[in-house]
Structure 1
Amino acid sequence: MKKFLATLLAVCTVLALCAGCGSKKEETPAASESNETPAASTETVVLRLANSHNAEHITSQACQMFADLVNEKTDGRITIECHFAGELGDERSTIEQCQFGGLDFTRVSSGASAEFAPLMNALQMPYEYTSVDHLFEVLDGEIGQEVFETFKANNLVGITYLHPGSRNFFNAKKEIHTPADLAGMKIRVSESDLMLTLMDSLGGIGVGLPFNDTYSSIQTGVVDGAENNMTSYIEMSFWEVAPYWTYDGHSYMPDMILASKQTMDKLSAEDQQIIFDCAKEAEVWHRDAWEDSEAKNAKIAEEKGCTLTTLTDEEVKEFQDAVAPMYDTFLNDEQKAIVERVQALG
């Protein structure tokens, strides 16, 4: 009996090894080892997309639309599972996961991605864009695509840019018209050298704090205000503790969807194109939806009794002049050349 069981176990082991060999053949290793794009596949593929925003956020809705469109256009062959609210990690962590093939897609900001594509710094400088139309002329054109190409050196693929909204100052104390009005004010910013230096240049005091601590920090006087887009201002109820809003538009920091190059390389040319096309369709929807949201939330802010301050051209110029030295401090020659091209389009 023992000899029979031993023989049976050996046969099962051999069969398992053979089954493993058969599965490797189905993956066509010869094709994966070459630089050729794989042929179209009929196999079902499940991919994952990470996003730090909650599921209700407009940008999250765009990510879900992208996933739904891919599923539809591939007749269910490719399913993209969206994970929201930082479920799979913060922005930097999800980029790194994509970089090494542990994750397929992530929605991130330019601030988080610049370390992996340094030319991105040239697209997020303060007061760089004259309008949202100027921003998308840059992102949709040669400049935006050139910057996306540089992600490949870090095993990443730029899929599409998303509307980031213009970032503006809001505070608990007073109207802001010039940099002098910010003097001595403590403003919550992201924990980055760029934003901290921005506040130094404007005469304020930048305080790097996690985003989720912003409301309580203003409420308790740890900081006097913060900066963000109008949609976040209303959705996060910042208006309750900081009713003074200033439209200075100091920053457009593009959001984007990045993919793992390993993931994209496994897809056929046809499926890669479907990915790009569906992402673009979602991005176009998101752009219009974001503008509608900003307008709707501005009305809500007015109804809540907030003071909304629009700067004159002369006042905007004061802010621009104050941060001008940053363009030399933060940018190398290659990045400065990109900025010059950006400004030429404005």
Structure 2
Amino acid sequence: MQTKTIKSGALLSASTITASMMLFAAPVQAEDWRGWNIHPPGYPNTVALEAFAEAIEEDTEGRVTARVYNNAVLGDQPDAIEQTRSGALNFANFNMGPMGPIVKETNVLSLPFIFDDVDHMHRVMDGEIGERFADALAEQNLIALSWFDSGARSLYNTEKPIKTPADVEGLKIRVMNNDLYVDMIESLGGNATPMAYGEVYQSLTTGVLDGAENNYPSFESSNHYEVVGYYSLTEHLIIPECLCIAKSSWEALSEEDQEIIEAAAIEASEMQRQLWVESSEESKQKVLDAGVEINEVEDKAEFQELMQPVYDDFIAENPELESLIEDIRSAS
């Protein structure tokens, strides 16, 4: 829950405070906000979130103060989602992948190849369709103020370059814990293995896994490139992230401060996206220098065609979301 600090030179009894409040107008007090972040210091998202915290404190003239807690020290993402929904946390940067169990509509964003490229994702999320996702999040007490980038996720493994779906056959690939990701890998003939992120490095070294999938910065910062020789640009998942505010925290703000904080969130998103591009290039060069072989996938259509059963099953289970899928795919 949010806590408010009583600015007083002496300790007062509850009855004295109550009497004083009846006689005098209460002074304006700062809201002390706590923000959740899964990433380490220096990561693009972390830098942008910390800039957001500094901006809202300065621009609200101290009416809202904020601190970002990095490295998921306040809990993993599912816990943090619940804490933010309840108002125990005030803001957070959430990936939409694990959001599906809470906000059904966000599962659409986890469909493989739903976006043509990262620029397509930005256009969709910054426009009317992004507002639809924000409305769905708001129904679950999460106010999405802006959308962060998380790049394109590609396959990497210890065995060989992946150039066609046949190259995935039989490989044990780690995925995030989502049935869509399991279905995606199995549709390519691989063996999908949901696993905690922190267990992947050891599993790659011991052969429990043959590979995994992620973006350049995560591939590099996790040190997976140290034990994996091949990174193949399938770019099968492009999943946006939100800068979300707890609905209770948002509604407690004045209209003026809401405008200030929304503007700061949009600036943070612009910063994060630029830092993401720079970080991706730096990470790519680092893994190349370490000897990782990076290959383009010349014909992604082969991969995309094999995803049709994934889409068919998803639409059969969620027919009300078919139009949303069509709108995303047709968005220019």
Question: What TM-score do you get using the length of structure 2 for normalisation?
Answer: 0.91
Question: 1:159–1:276: 8 Å Cα contact kept in structure 2?
Answer: yes
How many corresponding residue pairs?
Answer: 319
Q: Distance in 1 between matches of 2:18 and 2:246?
A: 26
Alignment-mate amino acid for residue 19 of structure 1: I
Alignment-mate amino acid for residue 172 of structure 2: K
- Shift of the alpha carbon at 1:288? 1.0
Task: Provide Cα deviations, 1:117-162, integer angstroms capped at 9, x if missing partner.
Answer: 2111122210111111101000000001111111222222112110
- Shift of the alpha carbon at 1:24? 8.3
Structure 2 SS opposite 1:154? coil
Q: Distance in 1 between matches of 2:25 and 2:256?
A: 18
What are the ranges of 5 or more consecutive residues in structure 2 without an aligned counterpart? Answer: 1-11
Structure 1 SS opposite 2:294? strand
Task: Provide Cα deviations, 1:9-66, integer angstroms capped at 9, x if missing partner.
Answer: xxxxx963242354589899xxxxxxxxxxxx94322111011212222111111111
Matched, 1:325 2:309: yes
Aligned to 1:36: none
Aligned to 2:84: 98
Aligned to 1:109: 95
Q: Distance in 2 between matches of 1:166 and 1:197?
A: 18
- Shift of the alpha carbon at 1:83? 0.6
Structure 2 SS opposite 1:191? coil
Question: Residue 308 and residue 262 in structure 1: after superposition, are their counterparts in 2 closer, same or farther (change >3 A)?
Answer: same
- Shift of the alpha carbon at 1:73? 0.9
Structure 2 SS opposite 1:53? coil
Question: Residue 102 and residue 199 in structure 1: after superposition, are their counterparts in 2 closer, same or farther (change >3 A)?
Answer: same
Q: Distance in 2 between matches of 1:188 and 1:198?
A: 12
Identity over aligned pairs, percent: 31
Q: Distance in 2 between matches of 1:63 and 1:90?
A: 17
Question: Residue 133 and residue 207 in structure 1: after superposition, are their counterparts in 2 closer, same or farther (change >3 A)?
Answer: same
Q: Distance in 1 between matches of 2:25 and 2:144?
A: 26
Task: Tell me which of 219, 239, 254 is aligned to 1:268.
Answer: 254
Larger of the two Rg values belongs to structure: 1
Q: Distance in 2 between matches of 1:199 and 1:212?
A: 20
Aligned to 1:3: none
Matched, 1:287 2:285: no
Q: Distance in 2 between matches of 1:202 and 1:25?
A: 71
Question: 1:175–1:244: 8 Å Cα contact kept in structure 2?
Answer: yes
Pairing of 1:219-258 with structure 2 (within 5 A):
219-258=205-244
Task: Tell me which of 210, 214, 217 is aligned to 2:200.
Answer: 214
Question: 1:327–1:336: 8 Å Cα contact kept in structure 2?
Answer: no
Q: Distance in 2 between matches of 1:101 and 1:27?
A: 26
Pairing of 1:65-104 with structure 2 (within 5 A):
65-104=51-90
Question: 1:163–1:255: 8 Å Cα contact kept in structure 2?
Answer: yes
Q: Distance in 1 between matches of 2:14 and 2:162?
A: 71
Alignment-mate amino acid for residue 257 of structure 1: L
Q: Distance in 2 between matches of 1:101 and 1:112?
A: 19
Q: Distance in 2 between matches of 1:127 and 1:259?
A: 29
Task: Tell me which of 17, 20, 44 is aligned to 1:19.
Answer: 17
Matched, 1:185 2:183: no
Task: Provide Cα deviations, 1:164-191, integer angstroms capped at 9, x if missing partner.
Answer: 1110000001010111110000001112
Alignment-mate amino acid for residue 75 of structure 2: G
Aligned to 1:166: 152
Structure 2 SS opposite 1:272? helix
CA RMSD of aligned residues (A): 1.9
Q: Distance in 2 between matches of 1:294 and 1:170?
A: 16
Aligned to 1:33: none
Structure 2 SS opposite 1:115? coil
What are the ranges of 5 or more consecutive residues in structure 1 without an aligned counterpart? Answer: 1-13, 29-40
Q: Which moved more, 1:177-186 or 1:100-109?
A: 100-109
